[in-house]
Amino acid sequence: MNGQGVPDGAGSPAEVDDGDRMYLARVRAEIDEEVRRRRAAGDLAGQTESELEELFLRHAPLGSTRQELHEVLRLVDASAFIDPVVPVESSRPGGAVVKKGVRTLNFWYLRFITHQVSKFATASSRALHILDQQLCDLSTKVEALEVPPSVVVDVGWAHRTDSWWVPGVVTELEGGRRRVLHAACGDGWLVHLLAATNVDGYGVDPRPGRVAGQELGELDLREEPVLGHLEAVEPGALGGVVLCGLMEGSGHGERRRLLEKAAMALAPGGVLVVHSLSPSGWDEADAPPEADIVQARPYRPGTWPYLLGEVGMSVAVTPGPDGRDYLVVGRREAGPSQSR
Amino acid sequence: MKVAFVTPRYGPEIMGGAETAARQLAEHLVAECGWEVEVFTTCAVDHITWDDVLAPGDSVLNAVAVHRFRSASGRVREFYEIDGRLRSAPAQASETDARRWLECNGPVTADLLEALRGTDADVVAFYPYLYYPTVAGMDVVSVPRVLHPAAHDEPALYLPVFGPTYAEADAICYHTAAERRLVQRIHRVAQVPQIVLGLGVGDVVEGGRPGGEILGIGDRPYMVSVGRVDEHKGSAMLARFFRLYKERHPGPLALALVGPVAVAIAEDDDIVVTGVVSEADKWDLVRDAQVAISPSALESFSLVVLEAWEQSVPVMVNATCDPTREHCERSGGGLWFGSYREFEVVLERLIADAGLRRLLGGRGHAYVKRYYQWPALIRRYARFLTTVGERGPRWAGVDP
């Protein structure tokens, strides 16, 4: 049986239609530009701005993925100066006079201490600003390299229930007691099929909006990056991992990481299924557009025993009926029962 | 189908988000699915002291059977010393220290655990992750366990004492996908059956009074912030930001802070602090607002954002609060601010642009209608619990 999940879609407003999305993106860009303009114009007194920054960041989550280093640095800058002039207000009669006297007597000492602390804080802040700048420069350079992002290759004729490789995979996974992950699951077509045969399947798909149509249904489908998902899976927890359209378009390094994480997620005896176009299928006229767009190309079938052998799996490769695609079934060696 | 909820506080007098959510789910399961629901909880009202205030024993509240138990101990003084020591590097805390933190935070409730052990429920739902009844209760039940973390990005989430709580859950129910990302960043539970559910928006109960009349500001336009008026909820920051905004933008715009007051906010011509108001007044106040604002950075769901959208009112949220920002990004129903300058520019834009307000309010309204209506939402939850029950304890079934 399956649970159900709502895909996240955070950062990808799948619910908003295209016209609204473009308009809202423009509004957001205009807001950002206006904020930059006002900050550059310095229309707020420095001390006021520092106080407001500190006030905002005081309760911001430490691990917020929304904050950037330069934003947090604003708080560092705001706190770098240690004021030796201690407030002397008092609610008691004469208290302010006493406090002022104490402050005067200690001022030379406090000023000496706070001056050194401020100097240290300012130096630290400057170092962090340099680091931030270097990170920004590095980021710009990396972006300039234009490493194409990994894509899911949509092969309509192969990623469907009546494709030649599907019945065998379902049979392979039947009877297992652990969950089976399908990545990239699209609208959940394989998860649905697995559920019909009492296989406890669930799916993830990194493509914005691809599982959105199924989010209120009964299947456990999630919009998540596949690698990130596998990294958050308890090692040895899954009975099967099915990878569809993920190998053809990703770089070699990412493929290896994906395979390592998938293998790690499998329990002993667990099955890794990879469906891939063959290099010849990649070159055919009806190949998906990614064949021209991405730098990667599919592995040859004979490469898989070597690759999966490295992560401790036995492998069988079955070519498709017309040579355009093939199926890899790797099995993690069964060992002693692994306790979760 | 019978479900048991375990939550440290329960009842209409409880203001906590997680506890209120547990009560809403429990009551809707009874009312709309006809399920039998029981609740295991303490006699506490206050989540700091955990003092026994309500009477122990069995009672029925809105058709939900409630079993209350006294706490052997609430939050003790030692908690603050341990918390201060562990919060700088919580993930590095020892198991012993983390366990001690949990016990010192309270409420320690041996009687509750003993009663829970004997439950005949098909599924037990724990809500939230943070307290002793959840951590200890997970160990004593033999039926499938659903964890509702209600997690924030707080130091406690990283304490090792909560690792087994997440790992042993048979299913997890999240408020938002942002909460799922947060939990999965810390605990390796991506394979666990799960659902992103949230909460339903209740029926609008309008009293028919103009919001400005309730606030005593006549026809002046206003923005509204509903929820506990608290330093930690960003209320003081909001008041400071708004005062400066008014200094720089003189005009009729006012701010209404609506909810129980935990931090004193000085009222003036531009800021009205209402305290607790009736449901009807709350809906009226939100309906007539130009903008609803959620300044809090620490929300795991934020029903008040959805309630504003229910009435097609656009929202502004804290940019560092992932769940509320996620609502805005997914729905296209709101804008966010990450500094005073952003607050100022966003508010200027919203106040000046009625078309933008209508668009945002309409997008938000459609989002709430699609995902957060009680009948549909509780049926999804019921289906989820049914599948969890059918899987049986330890969902993978590999360690019988």
pLDDT for the residue A150: 67
Shared domain for A183 and A327, answered yes or no, is yes
Assigned token pair, B151? 């997690």
Domain map (residue ranges) of chain B: 2-200+374-391, 211-371
Domain B2-200+374-391 adopts which CATH fold? Rossmann fold (3.40.50)
The SS3 call for residue B163 is: helix
Q: What is the mean pLDDT of residues A102-121?
A: 89
The SS3 call for residue A278 is: coil
- Among B274, B282, B269, B285, smallest CA distance to B213 is for B285
Q: What is the mean pLDDT of residues B394-399?
A: 50
CA angle, A190 then A194 then A195, to 5°: 115
pLDDT for the residue B252: 97
Q: Which residue has the higher pLDDT, B69 or A45?
A: B69
Assigned token pair, B83? 């918390």
- What pLDDT band is residue B41 in, cutting at 50, 70 and 90? very high
pLDDT for the residue A8: 37
| Positive or negative: CA dihedral B313, B314, B319, B323 | positive
A48: buried, middle or exposed (CB in 10 Å: 19+, 13-18, 0-12)? exposed
pLDDT for the residue A13: 43
Shared domain for A304 and A242, answered yes or no, is yes
CA distance A135 to A146: 17
CB contact under 8 A, B191 and A63: no
From chain B, the residues in CB contact with A2 under 8 A are: 193, 387
* Gap from A286 CA to chain B (nearest CA, Å): 35
Res. B381: pLDDT tops 50: yes
| Cα–Cα distance list, A194 to A179, A180, A198, B398 (Å) | 10, 9, 6, 19
Q: Which amino acid is at A39?
A: R
Is A24 domain-assigned? Answer: no
State which residue of chain A sits closest to B163, comparing Cα positions: A234
Tell me how crowded residue A205 is: count the other CB atoms within 10 A of its CB. Answer: 28
**Contact call for residues B101 and B83 (beta carbons, < 8 A):** yes
CB contact under 8 A, A10 and B329: yes
CA angle, B139 then B140 then B146, to 5°: 65
> How many residues in chain B?
400
Shared domain for A226 and A313, answered yes or no, is yes
Shared domain for A120 and A248, answered yes or no, is no
Residue A193 belongs to domain spanning: 166-332
- The tens digit of pLDDT for each residue in A234-275 reads 999 999 999 999 988 888 888 889 999 999 999 999 999 999
ipTM of the complex: 0.85
From chain B, the residues in CB contact with A62 under 8 A are: 153, 155
Q: Which amino acid is at A98?
A: V
Shared domain for A124 and A242, answered yes or no, is no
List CB contacts of B370: < 8 A, sequence separation 6 or more: A15, A216
CA distance A109 to B271: 43
pLDDT for the residue A16: 57
Res. A152: pLDDT tops 60: yes
Shared domain for A171 and A231, answered yes or no, is yes
Shared domain for A216 and A88, answered yes or no, is no
Q: For position A184, which CATH number holds?
A: 3.40.50.150
From chain A, the residues in CB contact with B315 under 8 A are: none
Angle between helices A189-196 and A166-173 (to 10 degrees): 50
CA angle, B334 then B335 then B339, to 5°: 150
- Tell me which of A52, A227, A229, A261 to substitute to probe the interface with B (most B C-beta atoms closer than 10 Å): A52
**Contact call for residues B69 and B111 (beta carbons, < 8 A):** yes
* Gap from A111 CA to chain B (nearest CA, Å): 29
pLDDT for the residue B1: 94
Res. A203: pLDDT tops 60: yes
Q: Give me the residue from A10, A31, A218 closest to B342, CB to CB.
A: A31
For B:123-182, CB contacts with A below 8 A are 152-155, 167, 171, 176-178, 180-182
From chain B, the residues in CB contact with A232 under 8 A are: 184-185, 187-190
Q: Give me the residue from A14, A39, A232 closest to B184, CB to CB.
A: A232
Is A22 domain-assigned? Answer: no
- Tell me which of B301, B330, B384, B391 to substitute to probe the interface with A (most A C-beta atoms closer than 10 Å): B330
Long-range contacts of A190-199, Cβ-Cβ distance < 8 Å, separation of 24 or more: A190/A161, A190/A166, A190/A242, A190/A244, A191/A2, A191/A219, A191/A220, A191/A221, A192/A219, A193/A161, A193/A166, A194/A170, A195/A1, A195/A2, A195/A219, A197/A170, A198/A1, A198/A174, A199/A170, A199/A173, A199/A174, A199/A240
CA distance B298 to B290: 24
Q: Which amino acid is at B201?
A: V
Tell me how crowded residue B58 is: count the other CB atoms within 10 A of its CB. Answer: 10
Is A36 domain-assigned? Answer: no
CA distance B79 to B102: 8
pLDDT for the residue A275: 95
- Among B378, B335, B329, B327, smallest CA distance to B356 is for B335
CB contact under 8 A, A56 and B191: no
CA distance B197 to B220: 38
Question: What does the DSSP 8-state code read for residue A334?
Answer: P
Shared domain for A175 and A214, answered yes or no, is yes
Res. A94: pLDDT tops 90: no
CB contact under 8 A, A216 and B398: no
Q: Which residue has the higher pLDDT, A129 or B192?
A: B192
DSSP B41-85: EESBS-TTT--B-SPPEEEEETTEEEEEE--SB---THHHHHHHH
* Gap from B166 CA to chain A (nearest CA, Å): 11
- Among B307, B234, B217, smallest CA distance to B271 is for B217
From chain B, the residues in CB contact with A74 under 8 A are: 339
Q: What is the mean pLDDT of residues A30-41?
A: 92
Q: Give me the residue from A8, A216, A339 closest to B181, CB to CB.
A: A8
CA distance A183 to A178: 16
Shared domain for A141 and A172, answered yes or no, is no
Exposure class string for A50-83: b at 16+ Cβ within 10 A, else e: bbbbebbbebbbeebebbeeebbbbbbbbebebe
- The tens digit of pLDDT for each residue in B128-164 reads 999 999 999 999 999 999 999 999 888 899 999 999 9
CB contact under 8 A, B190 and A232: yes
Res. B116: pLDDT tops 80: yes
CA distance B157 to B148: 13
Shared domain for A127 and A186, answered yes or no, is no
CB contact under 8 A, B338 and A67: yes
- Residue labelled with tokens 């954002």: B305
Strands (E), A112-174: none
List CB contacts of B275: < 8 A, sequence separation 6 or more: B259, B260, B261
Return the H-helix or E-strand segment holding A319.
strand A313-319
Is A87 domain-assigned? Answer: yes
| Cα–Cα distance list, A164 to A19, A158, A196, A245, A322 (Å) | 40, 8, 18, 15, 10
CA distance A12 to B336: 15
> How many residues in chain A?
340
* Gap from A73 CA to chain B (nearest CA, Å): 13
- The tens digit of pLDDT for each residue in B277-328 reads 999 999 999 999 999 999 999 888 889 999 999 999 999 999 999 899 999 9
Provide the domain count of chain A. 2
CB contact under 8 A, A44 and B340: yes
Res. A39: pLDDT tops 90: no
pLDDT for the residue B377: 93
- Tell me which of A2, A6, A32, A223 to substitute to probe the interface with B (most B C-beta atoms closer than 10 Å): A6
Is A65 domain-assigned? Answer: no
CB contact under 8 A, A56 and B237: yes
For B:223-242, CB contacts with A below 8 A are 231-232, 234, 236-237, 240-241
CB contact under 8 A, A179 and B193: yes
Return the H-helix or E-strand segment holding B99.
helix B95-105
Question: What does the DSSP 8-state code read for residue B288?
Answer: T
B329 contact A CB<8A? yes
Taking all residues of chain A, what is their mean pLDDT, rounded to a whole number?
Answer: 84
State which residue of chain A sits closest to B347, comparing Cα positions: A31
Assigned token pair, B241? 């930001």
pLDDT for the residue B396: 43
pLDDT for the residue A330: 95
pLDDT for the residue A89: 84
Architecture of domain B211-371: 3-Layer(aba) Sandwich (3.40)
Return the H-helix or E-strand segment holding A274.
strand A266-277
Shared domain for A216 and A97, answered yes or no, is no
Is A7 domain-assigned? Answer: no
Q: Give me the residue from A60, A65, A233 closest to B190, CB to CB.
A: A233
Q: Which amino acid is at B255?
A: L
* Gap from B353 CA to chain A (nearest CA, Å): 11
Cβ pairs bridging A and B (under 8 Å): 209
